[in-house]
């Protein structure tokens, strides 16, 4: 099982600026949540504790640093309070490959493998060595250590670094490499992107991501292909009628690229196992429901994953209005709750069990009547492409100007951008919210059952 450390850009800035401040070694401790993500174990940084107060470090020099037992004990206590763990960090502030010394390994074995593992079990304890040109690290369960294989920084960009050899750049990506270079293409190849909702917009998104060369796609949708879908599911024909949408889209994705890894999840996102989506670096939200968006908003903050949310709307009548929106949400920087885009009444309805929903429908209490809404493949394609461009911005920095909210009005041929302001009171991303909680907090489920 591979191991990943995930951290917000604000926390990363605080950590790296302290550790690499000068040519002396410096230290810090990360308080982290913990998550299982398919075949990957993830440590999710909640708090950076800097060793800068008198008594935090016993000694510091160009040759090494020793943390005080009191500082370590304080960090371990903070981790236990959130059901998490710690990562002991120090710097190698000189250029070149980052490799642990024999002393580093002996110290880690004593502190992480013996002292802290006993206090924080069953969650593993981590170590991180940071240098100007790279990183090294391990997670310890007792005296068994596994190398930290992946480091992900999440913010205005999703910065992914993996240990080991890079994949060769494929010839069919040569033209887009001219736009963002080898590093940008490698970032796409290293990424896992979830697409929740494989309908009119989700099918566009999944196929474009396959053409771009993302490494893995996780496709989530509970629905099957119906006759009315054929005019807007890109590439899907009558042979797929009655079959799951995710299977149809996955087959088309594999036609685009035989090298891409695809996970097919035939399920509502409200019923999916968290480990399935916890492996994602970015999730594209292409669902129609407020409940699924609310769930993914909480999930993404807990697991430090960026969301790219999109929606399309057509209003008919004397004067037609049409358009859509794209919202980019990164952990700790404003969420869909802050944006005011979620209706609590519609969220509640989507969380109802099938029996309760039918009962409320018969009583006339449901606000969302489930009636078909207008949908046009061309408009879906415009908004889906805007969303995919934001995925490219997150992974490659293509546009150089990250936007949090894009609003497209088709009747005016107009595109405007606005921001999403983080609200301190927000229970999701505000002070004392869900950031980095991982498996330490049960998410709500349909019918009121947490999982």
Tell me how many degrees the CA angle 435-441-445 measures, rounded to the nearest 5: 110
* Residue 20 per-residue DSSP state: T
Q: Which of 127, 154, 181 is the last residue of a domain?
A: 154
Which comes out higher in pLDDT, residue 24 or 437? 437
Q: How many Cβ atoms are within 10 Å of 63's Cβ, its own excluded? A: 10
Average pLDDT over residues 344-372: 69
Domain contains 44: yes
Question: Does the pLDDT at position 335 exceed 60?
Answer: yes
- Distances, alpha carbon 221 to alpha carbons 65, 209, 380, in Å: 51, 17, 17
- The model's pTM: 0.94
Residue 369's pLDDT band (cuts 50, 70, 90): low
**Placement of tokens 């009558």 in the chain:** 238
CA atoms of 436 and 69, how far apart (whole Å): 25
**Total structural domains within the chain:** 2
Question: Does the pLDDT at position 347 exceed 60?
Answer: yes
Domain contains 253: yes
CA atoms of 64 and 102, how far apart (whole Å): 12
CA atoms of 77 and 79, how far apart (whole Å): 5
Nearest alpha-carbon partner for 370 in 335, 388, 337, 346: 346
CA atoms of 230 and 200, how far apart (whole Å): 9
Domain contains 396: yes
| SS3 state at 271 | coil
**Neighbour-count burial for 3-30, b at 16+ CB within 10 Å, e otherwise:** bbbbbbbbbbebbbebbeeeeebbbbbb
Q: What are the tokens at 271?
A: 């019923």
Question: Does the pLDDT at position 204 exceed 90?
Answer: yes
Domain contains 97: yes
* Residue 115 per-residue DSSP state: I
Beta pairing class for 27-37 and 85-91: antiparallel
Domain contains 426: yes
CA atoms of 103 and 98, how far apart (whole Å): 14
Average pLDDT over residues 164-169: 75
Q: Kindly report, residue by residue over 416-436, the tens digit of the pLDDT.
A: 998 888 888 899 999 889 999
Question: Does the pLDDT at position 449 exceed 60?
Answer: no
Q: What are the tokens at 351?
A: 């969380």
Q: Kindly report, residue by residue over 234-276, the tens digit of the pLDDT.
A: 999 999 999 999 999 999 999 999 999 999 999 999 999 999 9
Domain CATH number, residue 328:
3.40.50.720
Strands across the sheet containing 216-220: 261-265, 216-220, 192-196, 282-285, 306-315, 321-329, 405-409, 414-418
Domain contains 445: no
Q: Are residues 145 and 193 in the same domain?
A: no
Q: Are residues 223 and 115 in the same domain?
A: no
pLDDT of residue 362: 66
Q: Are residues 228 and 149 in the same domain?
A: no
Q: Which of 154, 188, 214 is the last residue of a domain?
A: 154
Which comes out higher in pLDDT, residue 84 or 61? 84
Q: Are residues 294 and 411 in the same domain?
A: yes
Question: Does the pLDDT at position 357 exceed 70?
Answer: no
Residue 296's pLDDT band (cuts 50, 70, 90): very high
Angle between helices 344-351 and 290-303 (to 10 degrees): 90
Residue 62's pLDDT band (cuts 50, 70, 90): low
Q: What are the tokens at 433?
A: 């919210």
Let me know: does 234 contact 284? Beta carbons within 8 Å: no
Domain contains 70: yes
Domain CATH number, residue 110:
3.40.140.10
Question: Does the pLDDT at position 13 exceed 90?
Answer: yes
Tell me whether the omega of the peptide bond preceding residue 151 falls within 30 degrees of 0, making it cis: no
Least confident of 178-187, 217-226, 321-330, 333-342: 333-342
List all residues 6 or more positions away from 278 whose beta carbon is below 8 Å from its beta carbon. Answer: 35, 36, 37, 38, 42, 303, 305, 438
Q: What are the tokens at 317?
A: 């009548």
Computed over every residue of the chain, the mean pLDDT equals: 90
pLDDT of residue 401: 84
Question: Does the pLDDT at position 92 exceed 70?
Answer: yes
Residue 372's pLDDT band (cuts 50, 70, 90): confident
Q: Are residues 234 and 148 in the same domain?
A: no
pLDDT of residue 367: 64
Helix ranges (DSSP H) in 340-376:
344-351, 354-363
Let me know: does 80 contact 119? Beta carbons within 8 Å: yes
Average pLDDT over residues 347-353: 75
Q: Are residues 134 and 175 in the same domain?
A: no
Q: Are residues 179 and 313 in the same domain?
A: yes
**Neighbour-count burial for 167-177, b at 16+ CB within 10 Å, e otherwise:** eeeeeebeebb
String of DSSP letters for 64-86: -EEE-HHHHHHHHHHHHHTT-EE
pLDDT > 70: what percent of the chain? 94
Q: Which of 108, 127, 154 is the last residue of a domain?
A: 154
Domain contains 165: no
Q: Kindly report, residue by residue over 100-125, the tens digit of the pLDDT.
A: 999 999 999 999 999 999 899 899 99
For residue 331, give its domain range.
Answer: 171-439
pLDDT > 90: what percent of the chain? 71
Q: Are residues 218 and 290 in the same domain?
A: yes
Q: Are residues 121 and 203 in the same domain?
A: no
CA atoms of 47 and 330, how far apart (whole Å): 17
Q: Are residues 181 and 95 in the same domain?
A: no
Q: Are residues 261 and 403 in the same domain?
A: yes
The C-alpha torsion from 268 through 273 and 274 to 280, rounded to 10°, is -70
Q: Are residues 47 and 175 in the same domain?
A: no
Q: Kindly report, residue by residue over 135-152, the tens digit of the pLDDT.
A: 999 999 999 999 999 999
Q: What is the CA radius of gyration of the chain?
A: 23
């Amino acid at each position: 099982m591979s191991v990943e450390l995930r951290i917000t850009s604000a926390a990363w800035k605080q950590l790296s600026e302290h550790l690499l401040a000068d040519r002396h070694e410096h230290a810090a401790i990360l308080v982290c949540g913990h998550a299982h993500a398919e075949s990957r174990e993830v440590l999710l940084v909640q708090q950076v504790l800097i060793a800068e107060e008198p008594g935090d470090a016993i000694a510091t020099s160009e040759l090494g640093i020793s943390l005080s037992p009191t500082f370590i004990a304080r960090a371990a206590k903070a981790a236990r309070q959130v059901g998490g763990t710690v990562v002991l960090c120090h710097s190698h502030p000189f250029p070149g490959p980052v490799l642990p010394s024999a002393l580093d390994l002996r110290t880690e074995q004593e502190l992480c493998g013996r002292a802290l593992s006993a206090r924080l079990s069953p969650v593993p304890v981590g170590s991180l060595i940071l240098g100007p040109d790279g990183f090294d690290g391990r997670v310890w369960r007792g005296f068994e250590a596994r190398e930290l294989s992946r480091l992900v920084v999440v913010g205005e960009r999703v910065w992914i670094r993996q240990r080991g050899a890079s994949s060769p750049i494929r010839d069919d990506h040569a033209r887009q490499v001219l736009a963002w270079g080898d590093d940008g293409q490698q970032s796409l190849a290293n990424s896992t992107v979830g697409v929740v909702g494989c309908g009119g917009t989700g099918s566009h998104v999944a196929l474009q991501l396959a053409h771009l060369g993302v490494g893995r796609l996780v496709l989530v949708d509970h629905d099957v292909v119906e006759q009315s879908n054929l005019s807007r599911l890109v590439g899907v024909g009558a042979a797929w009628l009655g079959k799951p949408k995710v299977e149809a889209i996955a087959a088309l994705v594999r036609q685009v690229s035989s090298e891409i890894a695809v996970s097919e999840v035939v399920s509502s996102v409200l019923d999916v196992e968290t480990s399935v989506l916890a492996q994602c670096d970015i999730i594209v939200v292409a669902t129609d429901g407020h409940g699924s968006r609310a769930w993914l908003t909480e999930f993404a903050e807990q697991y430090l994953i960026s969301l790219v949310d999109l929606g399309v709307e057509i209003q008919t009548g004397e004067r037609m209005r049409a358009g859509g929106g794209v919202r980019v949400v990164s952990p700790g920087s404003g969420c869909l709750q802050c944006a005011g885009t979620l209706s609590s009444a519609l969220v509640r309805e989507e969380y109802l069990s099938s029996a309760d929903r039918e009962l409320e429908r018969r009583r006339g209490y449901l606000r969302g009547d489930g009636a078909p809404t207008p949908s046009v493949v061309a408009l879906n394609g415009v908004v889906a492409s805007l969303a995919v461009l934001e995925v490219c911005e997150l992974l490659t920095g293509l546009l150089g100007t990250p936007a949090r909210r894009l609003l497209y009005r088709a009747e005016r041929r107009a595109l405007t951008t606005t921001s999403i302001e983080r609200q301190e009171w927000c229970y999701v991303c505000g002070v004392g919210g869900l950031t980095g909680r991982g498996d330490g907090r049960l998410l709500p489920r349909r019918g009121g059952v947490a999982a």
